[in-house]
Amino acid sequence: MSDTLTLPTRRDEAFRYADLAALEPLWPLATQEIRVAAGEAGALALVLDGTNADARDLSIVLEDGASFDLRLLNAGSAYGRIAVSVTLGKAAKFHLGAAQIAGGDQTAEIVTQVTHAEPDALSTQIVRSVLAGHATGTYLGKVAVARGAIGTDGSQSIRAMLLDRTATANARPELEIYADDVKCAHGCAVGELDPQSLFYLAQRGLPPAQAKKLMLQAFIAEAFVGAADEETLTQAALDALEAIL
């Protein structure tokens, strides 16, 4: 996506909510290319949890019948951006499970472009964001179904929790379909923790931060269910959560 040397502007759809000032010193980004041969399986867990701004660009090509399991934890204490472009061959399978955790004035974003180039491929995307303070969490995700890619199954489940009214969640799942007989679904929800539940937990003795963490645990865990390093990822996410509560 960063095939240009000049820094993008906000007019560029994929950078609409980006922290351009934080991005500038990192530009241009090197694209990490991944190719999975026909019938093979690949997996990657990418964790951004450092203290410096970080931006990654992934390009994944899945040949016919290949599969890929991508897990992202975007939880650094500065700007974090992960852009992923995936092209699926015939009957290929792609799964994304991602969690973004941000507080303070941070911007966290995940931008995906999933192209079903051939028939019968499956893509699933689950993104869970927890945003506190004045943080902004963004998901921009386009699923494109090429002409002739019949039997495509693409889904996007995008949910965000705002811990403070001052935090912002942007979620834009997009579909671009040029084929018939296609099953694409997307769900998008932004919520807040239920104050009644928080009081119930507090009445039993849990301090506010611990009560919130308990309630968010299952929400975040959805991003990492079934991952090879599910436990490590979930624990890293909970540690990041503790830092913003």
Partner 1 sequence: MLKIENLSAIVADKPILKGLSLTINPGEIHAIMGPNGAGKSTLGYTLGGRPGYDVTGGSVSFAGEDLFALEPHERAAAGLFLGFQYPVEIPGVSFVQFLREAANAQRKVRGEAPLSGGEFLKLAKEKAGLLRMEMDMLKRPVNVGFSGGEKKRAEMVQMGILDPKLAILDETDSGLDIDALRICGEGINAIMRKPDKAVLLITHYQRLLDYVKPDFVHVLAGGRIVRTGGPELALELEEQGYEAVAA
Q: 149 pairs with which residues across the strands?
A: none
**Smaller CB separation from partner 1, 167 or 211:** 211
What whole-number distance in Å separates Cα of residue 134 and Cα of residue 228?
A: 33
Nearer to partner 1, 41 or 202 (CB): 202
Residue 147 is encoded by which pair of tokens? 């002409």
> Which CB, 11 or 204, lies closer to partner 1?
204
In 3D space, the residue among 154, 36, 46 whose CA is nearest the CA of residue 98 turns out to be 46
| Span interacting with partner 1, options 119-127, 151-159, 190-198, 224-232, rule CB under 8 A | 190-198
The residue assigned the tokens 């974003």 is 109
**Residue of the chain from 36, 149, 201, 237 that contacts partner 1 (CB under 8 A):** 201
155 vs 210, beta carbon nearer partner 1: 210
Stretch that binds partner 1, among 61-69, 176-184, 207-215, 229-237 (CB under 8 A): 207-215
Peptide bond into 28 cis (omega under 30): yes
The answer to the question of residue 215 lying near partner 1 (CB under 8 A) is yes
Rounded to 5 degrees, what angle do the CA atoms 219, 227, 130 make?
A: 25
What is the CA angle 151-152-157, rounded to 5? Answer: 140
Interface with partner 1 includes 218 (CB under 8 A)?
A: yes
Stretch that binds partner 1, among 15-23, 97-105, 148-156, 203-211 (CB under 8 A): 203-211
Distance, CA of 74 to CA of 70 (rounded, Å): 13
Residue number, 150 or 221, with CB nearest to partner 1: 221
Q: Which residues bind partner 1 (CB under 8 A)?
A: 194-197, 199-208, 210-211, 214-215, 217-219
